Copies of this chain bind each other. A is one copy, B any other.
Amino acid sequence: MLKNKNTYVVAVIGAAGMAGRETVEILEERDFPFSELVLLDSEGSEGERIEVRGRSTIVKRLGKDVFQGVDIAFFFAGAAQSLAFAPAAVAAGAVAVDGSSAFRSDPQVPLVVPEVNPHAIANHAGIIASPDCSVIALVMALKPLHDAARIKRVVITTFQSVSGTGKEAMDELAGQTVALLNFREVEKKAYAHQIAFNCIPHVDAFLENGGTTAESNMRSEARKILADDALQVTTTAVRVPVFRGDAASVNIETENPLPPNEARALLARAPGVVVYDDPAHSLYPLQIEVPGKDDVYVGRIRTDDTVANGLHLWVVSDNIRKGAALNAVQIAEYLIKQ
Contacts and interface: CB of A to CB of B under 8 A. Distances in A.
Interface of A: 153, 155, 157, 159, 173-174, 177-178, 181, 192-194, 197-202, 206, 209-212, 232-234, 236, 238, 240-243, 247, 249, 251, 260, 279-280, 282, 284, 286-288, 299-307, 310, 312, 314
A155, A247, A310: which has the most chain B beta carbons within 10 Å? A155
A249 B157 contact: yes
Nearest to A208: B280
B312 A236 contact: yes
Nearest to A236: B249
B300 A241 contact: no
A173 B232 CA distance: 38
Given A197-B242, A241-B242, A251-B155, A302 B210 contact: yes
B199 A240 contact: yes
A28 to B, nearest CB: 27
B301 A210 contact: yes
A249 B238 contact: yes
Given A202-B282, A210-B303, A260-B210, A288 B241 contact: no
B198 A287 contact: yes
Contacts of A280: 206
A201 B314 contact: yes
Nearest to A159: B199
A79 B181 CA distance: 33
Nearest 6 Cβ contacts at the A-B interface: A210-B302, A232-B306, A192-B282, A157-B157, A157-B249, A236-B249
B198 A286 contact: yes
A149 B305 CA distance: 22
A242 B198 contact: yes
A284 B232 CA distance: 25
A232 to B, nearest CB: 4
A290 to B, nearest CB: 11
A279 B201 CA distance: 10
A182 B286 CA distance: 22
B240 A288 contact: no
A234 B209 contact: no
A251 B236 CA distance: 9
A240 B314 CA distance: 14
Contacts of A198: 242, 286-288
Contacts of A177: 177, 181
Contact of A210 (B173, B197, B232, B279): B279
Contacts of A303: 209-210
A99 B100 CA distance: 50
Contacts of A314: 201, 236
A284 B234 contact: no
Contact of A241 (B153, B197, B212, B251): B197
Contact of A243 (B197, B234, B282, B284): B197
